[in-house]
Amino acid sequence: MSKVLVTGGAGYIGSHACKALKSAGYVPVTFDNLETGWEDAVKFGPFEKGDLLDRDRLDAVFAQYAPVAVMHFAALSQVGESMSNPGRYWRNNVTGSLTLIEAAVAAGCLDFVFSSTCATYGEQDNVVLDEDSAQHPINAYGASKRAIEEILRDFETAHGLRHVIFRYFNVAGADPDGEVGEFHRPETHLVPLLLDAIDGKRDALTIFGTDYPTPDGTCIRDYVHVCDLVDAHVLGLKWLEDGKGSRVFNLGTGSGFSVREVMQQSRSVTNREVPYSEGPRRAGDCTKLVSGSRRAIAELGWSPDRSTLDTMIRDAWRWHQTGHYEK
């Protein structure tokens, strides 16, 4: 069975990708330093602990497993922290990715699937972003991801490194079988924050801004189910295996939900009230950000079937009740 090196495979999205890869007939090899990931989430293939900045460790893993491709999720991803400590993000995300890419090329592993972000587009309010939208990141997180995209293009020119880049916004939901799910420390994502508040694990959810020009005054974001997201990554891997060229794909639903809509659906799913408070807008928060995915649907045959608000919250709530990695 072909092996795929999955960096960040102990994290939220990476662990779901490992399950999807196993289901598709691959052996996912997780490479993770466990700074933000959880060893309990590594259930679908071998685990190799290591840091992307450690070239010798990477070379050893490539030599041991001879993967046919890399699926690269490992990154620091907190926007606020990236603004206050940009050096950490450039060092970890960019230098770490460059080290990984050089190791992959040296090992002759020339198929590369990269987890990027719509944060590379920056502030483009109230439009549906597509792959040709201008990239103007406003923080070190988005800028670091854009830089990695540029590195991949340069390495294709110089070394024939084929790549698929996925840009997406808000990922939600969990494995419907309850084997893996979403858990961060600290938690920054809306759905798990909501569920924590409902479950009494935090005092209340804070709504940042209630005066946006939207139907209910709260900002709107595009949400995609994590299982749909990783299905696209497997399709991207097959795209490269079929000899198709390097490509960028956005992943989203193209519509989006407001904070209050997510809250209301959480009430419906859990039959519990959401304790919340209202606060001022945060700097840099746009009114509406949604990501068009016509290219992924048309060219990859991607179908985001689970990316309904009800399904995402139901799957997340089922996972939330397991106690996940807190033990």
> What is the per-residue pLDDT for 254?
86
* AA identity, residue 130: D
Token reading at 296: 């992924």
Name the pLDDT band for 325 (thresholds 50, 70, 90): low
User: What CATH number has the domain spanning 190-221+254-326?
Assistant: 3.90.25.10
pLDDT at residue number 136? 87
The backbone region for 25, taken as left when phi is positive above 0, alpha when psi lies in -120 to 50, beta otherwise, is left
> Is the alpha carbon torsion for 19, 16, 319, 39 positive or negative?
positive
Q: What is the CA radius of gyration of the chain?
A: 19
3-state class (DSSP) for residue 290: strand
Q: 77 and 141 in contact (C-beta within 8 Å)?
A: yes
For 37-61, what is the mean pLDDT?
96
What is the rounded end-to-end Cα distance, in angstroms, of the chain? 34
Taking the C-alpha atoms of residue 145 and residue 166, their distance in angstroms, rounded to an integer, is 11
Taking the whole predicted model, whether its pTM rises above 0.85 is answered as yes
**How confident is the model over 98-125, as pLDDT tens digits?**
999 999 999 999 999 999 988 888 777 7
Residue located via tokens 């950490």: 88
pLDDT digits (tens, 9 = 90+) for 181-209: 888 777 788 998 999 999 888 889 999 99
Beta strand 27-32 pairing with 3-7: parallel
Looking at residue 107, its pLDDT comes to 98
User: Is residue 74 within 8 Å of 52, Cβ to Cβ?
Assistant: yes
Residue spans per domain, the chain: 3-171+223-251, 190-221+254-326
Task: Compute the mean pLDDT over every residue in the chain, rounded to the nearest whole number.
Answer: 92
Task: Give mean pLDDT, residues 15-30.
Answer: 98
Q: Are strands 257-258 and 220-221 parallel, antiparallel or unpaired?
A: antiparallel
pLDDT at residue 182, as a whole number = 86
The per-residue DSSP string of 201-249 comes to SSS-EEEE-S-SSSTTSS-EE-EEEHHHHHHHHHHHHHHHHTTPPPEEE
Phi then psi for residue 23, to 5 deg, are -65, -30
Q: Which CATH superfamily is domain 3-171+223-251 in?
A: NAD(P)-binding Rossmann-like Domain (3.40.50.720)
Eight-state DSSP code of residue 254: S
Residue carrying structure tokens 């990141």: 137
The pLDDT, as a whole number, for residue 189 is: 85
**83: pLDDT strictly greater than 80:** no
Distance CA 50, CA 33 (A): 5
In the chain, what percentage of residues exceed pLDDT 70? 98
Mean pLDDT along residues 263-291: 88
The confidence band for 324, taking pLDDT boundaries of 50, 70 and 90, is low
Answer whether residue 327 shows pLDDT above 70. Answer: no
What is the DSSP annotation of 60-87? HHHHHH--SEEEE------HHHHHH-HH
Residue pLDDT, tens place only, 166-177? 998 899 999 999
pLDDT band for position 255 (cuts 50, 70, 90):
confident
Q: Averaged over 67-91, what is the pLDDT?
A: 85
Helix H or strand E encompassing 27? strand 27-32
CA angle 95, 158, 162 (to 5 degrees): 80
**Cβ–Cβ < 8 Å for 197, 275:** yes
Answer yes or no: is pLDDT of 304 > 60: yes
- Segment 230-245 mean pLDDT: 97
pLDDT tens-place string over residues 131-161? 998 888 878 888 999 999 999 999 999 999 9
Cα 256 to the center of its chain, rounded Å:
17
Residue 140's pLDDT is: 85
In angstroms, the CA 17 to CA 26 distance is 11
Residues noted as catalytic: 141
CA atoms within 13 A on the CB side of 290: 15
Give the separation between CA 153 and CA 279, rounded to whole angstroms: 42
